[in-house]
């Protein structure tokens, strides 16, 4: 984990699950656009946001497209740093092995270092 | 310093828009440059030109327009977030075959790339949300 600020780095924090609001979708949209513009994007899933990574997601009854398909495309956008708040995961009784993508679980202290290591942070 | 604001709260639904507006005035009163306000998520509703709040309440839409005119602040609205919430400028109204136009200058419909650009160009990008 680098702690040096790099102006090209962007941290996008996702705190909402895939359904119930458009926060996750619109947060991911911002991340994809940033990556398409050449930013090096890291995603941090916090709190309820970790449910974005659950396997076997359906699109839901509300006509939403869901976000799982977008997450599967992250690699194509060179978004490879996927960070998860370990406490958020354990609060929901989940483990990183149950998630659809490979992630790095971070303690609270490590989270603080990630935040201070980024000049630009967008929180959704 | 060069500032930009990211506003993601709907007007009159929560405090975010009011706080962002007060922060915007504080920034320019302190002699800083406010480059732009970027409206995203429910914040795009701030650009609703048809909003008609009671006369004894602050008119947020007009307040943003005054800020833009007095201090040359760009009012950038995410086009994808705006279109699905019924916020269309003249060009988009024609393109989508709609009778009404709900977004007028100085609000401008633009892409998320502008938000990323602001984050890079400005010394501070400050987010307001619910």
pLDDT tens readout for residues A41-100: 999 999 999 999 999 888 767 777 889 999 999 999 999 999 999 999 999 999 999 999
Q: Would you say residue A3 has pLDDT above 60?
A: no
Q: Which residue has the tokens 């040096």?
A: A4
Average pLDDT, chain A: 92
- Geometric angle at alpha carbon B20, from A24 and B57, rounded to 5°: 110
Q: Is the peptide bond before A19 cis (omega within 30 degrees of 0)?
A: no
pLDDT of residue A112: 96
| Contact residues on chain B for A123, CB-CB shorter than 8 A | 127, 129
Chain-chain contact of B81 with A10 (C-beta, under 8 angstroms)? no
Lookup result for tokens 């935040």: A115
The token duo for A16 is: 């909402």
Does position B127 have pLDDT exceeding 60, yes or no? Answer: yes
Contact: A26, B41; criterion CB under 8 Å:
yes
Please report, for chain A, the start and end positions of each structural domain, with discontinuous segments joined by +: 9-123
Which range among A54-58, A114-118, B55-59, B70-74 shows the weakest confidence by mean pLDDT? A54-58
CATH number of B2-128: 3.40.1260.10
How far from the centroid of its chain's Cα atoms is residue B49's Cα?
A: 11
What six digits make up the tokens of B46?
């701030």
pLDDT of residue A4: 60
Average pLDDT, chain B: 97
pLDDT at position A91 is 94
- Which one is catalytic: B5, B44, B67, B78? B78
pLDDT in tens, A70-81: 999 999 999 999
Place of tokens 């916090």: A46
Looking at residue A2, its pLDDT comes to: 47
Return the number of CB contacts < 8 Å for A and B.
37
Q: Which residue of B has its CA nearest to A120?
A: B119
Residue to test with chain B: of A12, A77, A122, A123, most B Cβ within 10 A: A122
Interface of A with B in 38-77 (CB under 8 A): 39
Q: Does B81 touch chain A (CB under 8 A)?
A: yes
CATH architecture for the domain at A9-123: 3-Layer(aba) Sandwich (3.40)
Torsions phi, psi for B20 (to 5 deg): -60, -40
Whole-number pLDDT of residue A56: 87
Q: Is some CB atom of chain A closer than 8 A to the CB atom of B115?
A: yes
Mean pLDDT on B84-106: 97
């Amino acid at each position: 984990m680098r702690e040096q600020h790099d102006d090209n780095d962007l941290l996008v924090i996702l705190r909402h699950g895939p359904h119930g609001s458009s926060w996750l979708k619109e947060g991911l949209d911002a991340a994809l656009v940033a990556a398409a513009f050449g930013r090096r994007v890291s995603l941090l899933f916090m709190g309820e946001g970790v449910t974005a990574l659950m396997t076997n997601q359906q699109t839901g009854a509300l006509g939403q497209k869901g976000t799982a398909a977008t997450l599967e495309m992250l690699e194509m956008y060179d978004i490879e740093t996927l960070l998860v708040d370990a406490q958020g995961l354990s609060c929901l009784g989940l483990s990183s092995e149950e998630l659809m993508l490979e992630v790095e679980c971070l303690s609270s202290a490590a989270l603080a270092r990630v935040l201070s290591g980024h000049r630009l942070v967008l929180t959704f | 310093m060069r500032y930009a604001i990211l506003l993601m709260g709907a007007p009159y639904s929560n405090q975010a828009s009011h706080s962002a507006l007060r922060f915007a005035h504080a920034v320019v009163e302190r002699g800083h440059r406010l480059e732009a306000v970027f409206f995203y998520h429910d914040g795009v509703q701030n650009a609703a030109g048809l909003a008609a709040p009671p006369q004894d309440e602050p008119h947020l839409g007009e307040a943003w327009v005054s800020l833009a005119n007095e201090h040359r602040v760009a009012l950038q609205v995410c086009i994808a977030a705006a279109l699905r919430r019924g916020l269309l400028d003249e060009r988009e109204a024609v393109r989508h075959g709609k009778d009404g136009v709900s977004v007028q200058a100085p609000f401008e419909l633009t892409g998320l790339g502008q938000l990323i650009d602001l984050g890079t160009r400005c010394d501070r990008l400050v987010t307001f949300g619910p």
